[in-house]
């Protein structure tokens, strides 16, 4: 069994690797409203300004050198400034 302490450490490590969000392969977000690791989770809060993309169909978490850490296909229409909350749970498999 993996300890809670180690799961928290992995969450903190993951948080430290996330440098930006890329939407639909083109729109980059490098400023987070908040970004934290606690209780075995990485919690990202960020703003998607109205007009930046019409609909979010792909969310990628990337390192500073553009390596993809996570990729998720979604369908989120952006009809106004949109606050996104994305949670990554670290758990034993």
pLDDT of 36: 96
Of residues 82, 90, 1, 81, the one with CA closest to residue 42: 90
- What is the per-residue pLDDT for 20? 98
Which stretches of the chain drop beneath a pLDDT of 50?
Answer: none
DSSP state of 51: T
C-alpha–C-alpha distance, residues 14 and 76, integer Å? 25
CB 57 within 8 A of CB 71: no
Q: What integer pLDDT is reported at residue 82 of this predicted model?
A: 97
Structural domain that includes position 50: 4-89
pLDDT at res. 93: 80
When divided into structural domains, the chain yields a total of 1
Write down the pTM of the prediction: 0.90
Closest alpha carbon to 91 in 3, 7, 5 = 7
C-alpha span between 9 and 85 (Å, rounded): 21
């Amino acid at each position: 069994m993996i300890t809670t302490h180690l799961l928290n450490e992995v969450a903190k490590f993951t948080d430290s690797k996330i440098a930006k969000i890329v939407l639909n392969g083109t729109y980059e977000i490098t400023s987070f409203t908040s970004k934290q690791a606690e209780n075995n989770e990485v919690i990202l809060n960020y703003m998607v300004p109205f007009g930046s993309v019409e609909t979010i169909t792909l969310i990628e978490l990337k390192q500073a050198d553009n390596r993809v850490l996570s990729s998720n296909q979604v369908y989120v229409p952006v009809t106004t400034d949109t606050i996104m909350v994305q949670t990554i749970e670290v758990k034993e498999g």
